[in-house]
Amino acid sequence: MVNATIHGDWPWQAGTGGPRDGAAHPSRIAVMLTPLTVALAVAALALAAWCGHAAYRDQPTKDWHFIGMGVVTALALVQLVVGTVQLARGEEPADGTVVFVSYLVGILCCMPATGMLSLGERTRWGSLSVVAGAVVLAVLQVRLYDIWEGNGV
């Protein structure tokens, strides 16, 4: 197995023709985008549930919520870097590069904008604005996946 990997035959391509037979390697970065997209969507939905609970208890966003927004933003930054590396390697999204990059930038800006709204409204409505922003971010993840894979409308 190690010898085959060194020479370019990957285990998932056994018997189907490896790179020496002209078959393309699946990009390790392209494979990484899907788990990162899922992780970011789950983190955003968890943040939405957490801030929704705070709004239910009639509380504004607290420092811990802002730390959660920072974690989601950091994941979005990683996603932006991974997407940019994919494009630099010559890979292309199915629905266009401009749309893909626009979604990556929009996703990165979503939580900071939501955090600023939340700071301006120090009531339960500030927490609800974070809920709305986090749900929008999760939906943007689904759309980003569709843009990359070509499943979009």
Question: pLDDT at residue 47 above 70?
Answer: yes
Q: What is the rounded distance in angstroms from the CA atom of residue 153 to the CA atom of residue 147? A: 9
Please give the structure tokens belonging to residue 68: 């959660």
- Classify residue 85: in a domain, yes or no: yes
Which whole number is the average pLDDT over 93-109? 90
Question: pLDDT at residue 121 above 60?
Answer: yes
Enter the DSSP assignment of 94.
T
**What size, in residues, is the chain?**
153
Name the one residue in this structure whose structure tokens are 């996603």.
Answer: 79
Q: What is the CATH number of the domain that holds 71?
A: 1.20.120
- pTM surpassing 0.85? no
- Classify residue 78: in a domain, yes or no: yes
Q: What is the rounded distance in angstroms from the CA atom of residue 111 to the CA atom of residue 139? A: 13
Enter the DSSP assignment of 44.
H
* Cα-to-chain-centroid distance, residue 31: 13
Q: What is the rounded distance in angstroms from the CA atom of residue 100 to the CA atom of residue 132? A: 22
For residue 33, give its domain range.
27-149
Question: pLDDT at residue 7 above 80?
Answer: no
- Classify residue 9: in a domain, yes or no: no
Q: What is the rounded distance in angstroms from the CA atom of residue 44 to the CA atom of residue 73? A: 9
> Counting beta carbons within 10 angstroms of the beta carbon of residue 88, is it exposed (0 to 12), middle (13 to 18) or buried (19 or more)?
exposed
- Classify residue 20: in a domain, yes or no: no
Which whole number is the average pLDDT over 56-76? 94
Cβ–Cβ contacts within 10 Å for residue 64, how many?
10
In the chain, what are the helix, strand and coil shares in percent, each to the nearest 5?
Answer: 75, 0, 25
What percentage of the chain reaches a pLDDT higher than 90?
56
- Confidence at 151, pLDDT banded by 50, 70, 90: low
- Residues in contact with 35: Cβ distance below 8 Å, sequence separation at least 6, in sequence order: none
- Classify residue 141: in a domain, yes or no: yes
- Report how many domains make up the chain: 1
pLDDT in tens, 14-33: 444 444 444 444 555 556 67
